DNA sequence: TCTGGGGTCCTAGGACCC
DNA sequence: TCTGGGGTCCTAGGACCC
């Protein structure tokens, strides 16, 4: 590791806790309260209020009643009868997210967004300009608040994983700084399921082993862990329990898949209807691929049955594609290959994976077929008139329980 | 309580190649 | 004659995250 004083002796030493995790507080709900100030201070849930809806984001007033994200909306309503449901407005969230990213980029170019409302920052190179990392965290929070009227919580720590835990501890509207010599004191009392990668299943397994806290996890023999959780997960957990994480903050990562899926309001068992939905999803995926400049080698069809059993079928093509006609054709073949007929289907999804950049070299192949050109024309119409202005005629023939009701 | 929609990563078996 | 071992790709399922 090279730590060099600058030629003039002016380059600051990299601080021991250079990583920030910035996490917006109740992001979607907070953006909604900005759009409609009458929502401020009230219990608000962003998400679908229909029978199969779930809460995507809950204001702190709603959380006081026990409402949480990922909770079925029906249950949230029971917990908090005065809960106000708002349909998600991703254009608004994306706009706010972009604004926030610009603020963060004014402190360091090393910003890694995790989602619309979270990002890691490596401020190791910014101390000379902006002060020590905790000071930068204060400035970032203040700048976000000034620029967007939204509050953020920030964790300051030696690495990404600790910074993320620290921002959790800082919520809402605060800062937590985990100094390099305070890692054990911070980590030991935390419940194991606070760790990244410990979800419901792993938590159960750990509880059966008698492991409730990170301290207990750190004291557990690697052999026992490996037997219970497998090679990779146990090693992963072991390093986290020690507070170690050497992942760098990576400003840009190429996407690996593009997908769209939809849960029907009522289960569907009509093949024609299923295939129309596959076509609709194929168009959305293809349009995204083209807009982002990728083509997919593998097409995956996802089906969730009424009993929540989930099946996937995929096929890898000789040539990558960004054409809805291709996605739909493969999707239909995959559907036809399933070992059942007329089962009750709750959800359909279409995904393109194995993405390759749609480089200039591939443009030649394009001109061979007519479909891609027709679809590009649809993209242009969508650009001018909004998404969904143009869509294939087949989608107009609605079945009785069509999920794609249009005005 | 009855489970959204967008993703990433891991596992495990089988095909295929050398 | 009935059987190696490593590497890579493909497929299906599942855990997990926000």
Query: Can you tell me the distance from the alpha carbon of A324 to that of A335, in angstroms, rounded to the nearest whole number?
Result: 16
Predicted confidence (pLDDT) per residue in A40-96, tens digit = 999 999 999 999 999 999 999 999 999 999 999 999 999 999 999 999 999 999 999
Pick the more confident residue, A15 or A389: A15
Is this prediction's pTM over 0.95? no
Q: Catalytic annotation on A383?
A: no
Please state whether strand C lies within 7 Å of residue A202 at its CB atom.
yes
* Active-site residue, selected from the candidate residues A118, A273, A277, A375: A118
Burial code of A120-149, b = ≥16 C-beta within 10 A, e = fewer?
bbbbbebbeebebbbebbebbbebbeeebe
* DSSP state string for A238-291: HHHHTT---PPP-S-----EEEEEEEEEEEE--HHHHHHHHHHHHHHHHHHHHH
Q: Is residue A120's pLDDT more than 60? A: yes
At A339, is the pLDDT very low, low, confident or very high (cuts 50, 70, 90)?
A: confident
Q: Is residue A29's pLDDT more than 60? A: yes
At A380, is the pLDDT very low, low, confident or very high (cuts 50, 70, 90)?
A: low
Closest CA to A303 of A267, A272, A327: A267
- Determine the pLDDT at residue A231: 83
At A404, is the pLDDT very low, low, confident or very high (cuts 50, 70, 90)?
A: very low
Q: How far is the CA of A11 from the C1' of B6 (A)?
A: 41
Q: How far is the CA of A319 from the C1' of C10 (A)?
A: 15
- Residues of A (347-386) placing their beta carbon closer than 7 angstroms to any atom of strand C are 354
**What residue has token string 């509207």?**
A173
Closest nt to A199 (CA→C1')? C16
Q: Is residue A381's pLDDT more than 70? A: no
Q: How far is the CA of A270 from the C1' of C18 (A)?
A: 33
Please state whether strand C lies within 7 Å of residue A339 at its CB atom.
no
Protein-proximal nucleotides of chain C (any atom < 7 Å from a CB) = 9-18
Task: Count CB atoms within 10 A of the CB of residue A71.
Answer: 19
Protein-proximal nucleotides of chain B (any atom < 7 Å from a CB) = 1-12
Predicted confidence (pLDDT) per residue in A271-306, tens digit = 999 999 999 999 999 999 999 999 999 999 999 999
- Determine the pLDDT at residue A3: 44
- Determine the pLDDT at residue A374: 62
Q: Is residue A371's pLDDT more than 80? A: no
3-state DSSP percent of chain A in helix, strand and coil, to 5: 45, 20, 35
At A382, is the pLDDT very low, low, confident or very high (cuts 50, 70, 90)?
A: low
Q: For B5, which residue's CA is nearest its C1'?
A: A261
């Amino acid at each position: 590791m090279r730590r060099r004083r600058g030629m003039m002796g002016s380059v600051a030493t990299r601080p021991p806790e250079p990583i920030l995790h910035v996490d917006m507080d109740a992001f979607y709900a907070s953006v909604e309260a900005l759009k409609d100030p009458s929502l401020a201070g009230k219990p608000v849930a962003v998400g679908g209020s229909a029978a199969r809806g779930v809460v995507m984001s809950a204001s702190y007033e709603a959380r006081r009643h026990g409402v949480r994200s990922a909770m079925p909306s029906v249950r949230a309503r029971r917990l908090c009868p005065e809960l106000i449901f708002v349909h998600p407005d991703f254009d608004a969230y994306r706009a706010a997210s972009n604004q926030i990213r610009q603020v963060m980029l004014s402190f360091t170019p090393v910003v890694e967004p995790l989602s619309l409302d979270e990002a890691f920052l490596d401020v190791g190179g910014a101390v000379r300009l902006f002060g020590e990392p905790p000071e930068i965290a204060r400035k970032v929070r203040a700048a976000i608040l000034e620029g967007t009227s939204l509050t953020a919580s920030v964790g300051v720590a030696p690495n990404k994983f600790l910074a993320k835990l620290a921002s959790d501890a800082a919520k809402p509207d605060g800062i937590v700084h985990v100094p390099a010599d305070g890692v054990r004191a911070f980590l030991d009392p935390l419940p194991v399921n606070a760790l990244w990668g410990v979800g419901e299943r792993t938590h159960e397994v750990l509880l059966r082993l008698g492991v409730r806290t990170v301290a207990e996890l750190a004291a557990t023999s690697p052999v026992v862990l490996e037997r219970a959780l497998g090679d990779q997960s146990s090693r992963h957990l072991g390093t986290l329990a020690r507070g170690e994480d050497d992942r760098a903050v990576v400003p840009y990562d190429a996407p690996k898949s593009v997908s769209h899926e939809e849960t029907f309001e009522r289960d569907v068992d009509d093949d024609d209807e299923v295939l129309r939905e596959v076509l609709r999803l194929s168009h959305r995926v293809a349009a995204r691929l083209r807009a982002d400049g990728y083509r997919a080698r593998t097409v995956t069809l996802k089906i969730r049955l009424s009993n929540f059993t989930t099946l996937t079928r995929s096929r890898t093509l000789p040539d990558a594609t960004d054409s809805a006609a291709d996605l739909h054709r493969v999707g239909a073949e995959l559907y036809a290959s399933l070992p059942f007929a007329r089962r009750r289907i709750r959800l359909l999804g279409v995904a393109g994976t194995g993405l390759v950049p749609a480089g200039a070299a591939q443009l030649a192949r394009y001109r061979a077929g007519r479909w891609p050109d027709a679809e590009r024309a649809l993209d242009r119409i969508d650009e001018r008139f909004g998404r969904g202005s143009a869509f294939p005629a087949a989608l107009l023939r609605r079945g009785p329980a069509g999920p794609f009701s249009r005005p």
